[in-house]
Chains A and B, each alone.
Chain A
Amino acid sequence: MFEKRYLGSRFTASLMLVAAIAITAVSGLSYMKMREPGPDIDRVVPHAGFEHKRLSDWFEGLAGTPADTDIYVQEGAEPGGTVLILGGTHANEPAGVIAAVVMLEQADVKRGRLMIAPYANPMARTHTFPQDAHPQTFSFRTPNGVTRAFRYGARITNPVNEWPNPDIYIHPESGQTMAGIERSNLNRAHPGVADGGATERLAYGFMELIKQEKVDLAIDLHEASPEYPVVDALVAHERAMELAAMVTMELEFEGVPIRLEPSPKNLRGLNHREWGDNADVLAVLLETCNASAGRFRGRTDEALILTGEDKAYEKAAGLGRLYVPWESFDKRFEERVARHVTTVRLLADNLEFVREGKGVTVEGLPAYQELSDLGVGAFLSD
C-alpha cells in the first residue's frame, strides 16, 4: 500500500528498526517463557506412595542435561510385575501427557510396580513448532477451583538442545533412513545411543531403565491426527499381541471401540518395535484422536485442544478425507484421556494372564464413563 508513495526517510528507517526489534523482543520473551514457565505450570501432585526419581538414575549420561526427566515409582505390598507408562514422548499430543498425570495422581498400587514418566521428552516441552500457532498452555480446574495448567509442546526436541539436524537421519541401529528432523523425535530414536544426540541419549536412558528394572509391560501414550490411519488404536509388538488382543476385546465390551495394529517390523526407531526387540518387555503404544496437531485444522486455540471441534475437519470429513466418523465421534479431551487410562488399566489387569506371577493391580484409577462425564479436572489434585 505504501509502495508508490516514497515517504521513507532516515527517521522512518530508524522507527521501523526500533519497531521490528520491539516486536521481536516481546514475542521472543513470550517464547522463551516456555523454557522456564514457573512452578504452577506442569506441576504434578503424585499419589501417596510414589517415589520421585530421575532417568539419570538408570543412565548417568543424562545427569545435568536437559534430556533428564522425572520418573515416579510406586510399589505395591504384593509382589508382581512392572509396568512403565510414558506420557509426552510427543509433547503436542496432550491427552497422552494428561492421562499419565491423572494416573500419577490417582494410582494406588496394590500389587507389582508402576513407573510413570509423565513428561518423557522434557526438551519437547520448551517450545511450540514454528508456524503452527499452538497455544503455549492449556488448563483444567480442580473441584476446589484450582487451575492446573500444562504446556503444549512440540513433536520434537527443541532445536536449542539439538541443532542442526541432518538432511537425512540414519537410524543408528538399523541403518534405515528417515527425514532429518526425525533425529529429534524420541519415537524414532529408540533404542538410543549412549553417546549420540540429545534425543538418542534420552531414548538410551529409557532402554536402560527397561532392561535394568526388567519392565514387563511398557506403554507409550500418544495422539494422532484425524487424517492419520492409526487413530483410537493400540499398536503392539508381536510378543504383546496376545495381551493387546485381550484388552481390545475388553474395551469393545466396555463400549470403547479401538483398533488393534501390529507394530510394523520394517519401521525402525519406534518404541513398540525397539523396546520389544531389545528387551524382554511387552511393548505397546496407544493413539487417540487429536485435531489440534492435525494439518487440516483451522483456528488453533485451547478450545480446539479440549473440544476437538474444528470447522476445517468437519469439511474434510464431508469430503471423506478422515479415518474417523467425525460427526458421531467423541473428540473431547476427557474422552481421550479416559480412553488412555482405561486401556492402561486393562493392560495391567490382564498382564497376569500372559506373564504368570507378574500381574500388576492398580486401584483408584477413574473408570471410563466417570472420567468422560466428570472431566479431567475432577481427577487432578489441588
Chain B
Amino acid sequence: MILTWIYWAICLFMVILVLRSLYREKSLREQWVAAMVLVPLLLRVLMIK
C-alpha cells in the first residue's frame, strides 16, 4: 500500500512538472508534446486503468 502512494506521489510530481512546462513553453510543438505526455500521467494520478 505504501508503494502505491509513493507511485501516486511520483506521478503527481511529474504532472506538476509537465503542467509547468506546458504553460511556460513558447513552442507550439513542445506544448503539444507536453499535453500528450500529460494524459497518461493524469490517468495514473486519477488511478484510471
Contact = CB atoms under 8 A, between A and B. Distances in A.
A6 to B, nearest CB: 4
A8 interface: yes
Contacts of B32: 16, 20
Interface residues of A, number: 17
- Per DSSP, chain B at the interface is helix
A21 B34 CA distance: 12
Contacts of B25: 8, 13
A13 B27 contact: no
B45 to A, nearest CB: 13
Given A13-B22, A16-B32, A17-B22, A8 B38 contact: no
A2 B29 contact: yes
Given A10-B23, A160-B49, A17 B29 contact: no
Given A13-B22, A16-B34, A160-B49, A21 B28 contact: no
A39 B49 CA distance: 24
Contacts of A26: none
Interface string A137-169: 000000000000000000000001000000000
Interface in B17-37: 22-23, 25-32, 34-36
A21 B39 contact: yes
Nearest to A16: B35
A16 B38 CA distance: 11
Contacts of B22: 13, 16-17
Give the most central of A6, A8, A10, A21: most B CB within 10 Å: A8
Given A16-B31, A160-B49, A6 B39 contact: no
A77 interface: no
A13 B34 CA distance: 9
A208 to B, nearest CB: 30
30 contacts: A1-B29, A2-B27, A2-B28, A2-B29, A5-B28, A6-B27, A7-B28, A8-B26, A8-B27, A8-B28, A8-B30, A10-B23, A13-B34, A13-B35, A16-B22, A16-B31, A16-B32, A16-B34, A16-B35, A17-B22, A17-B38, A19-B35, A20-B32, A20-B35, A20-B38, A20-B39, A21-B39, A21-B42, A24-B39, A160-B49
Given A13-B25, A21-B39, 15 more contacts: A2-B28, A6-B26, A6-B27, A8-B26, A8-B28, A8-B30, A8-B31, A12-B28, A12-B31, A13-B34, A13-B35, A16-B28, A16-B31, A16-B34, A17-B35
Interface of B: 22-23, 25-32, 34-36, 38-39, 42, 49
5 shortest interchain CB distances as A-B pairs: A20-B35, A16-B35, A6-B26, A2-B28, A8-B26
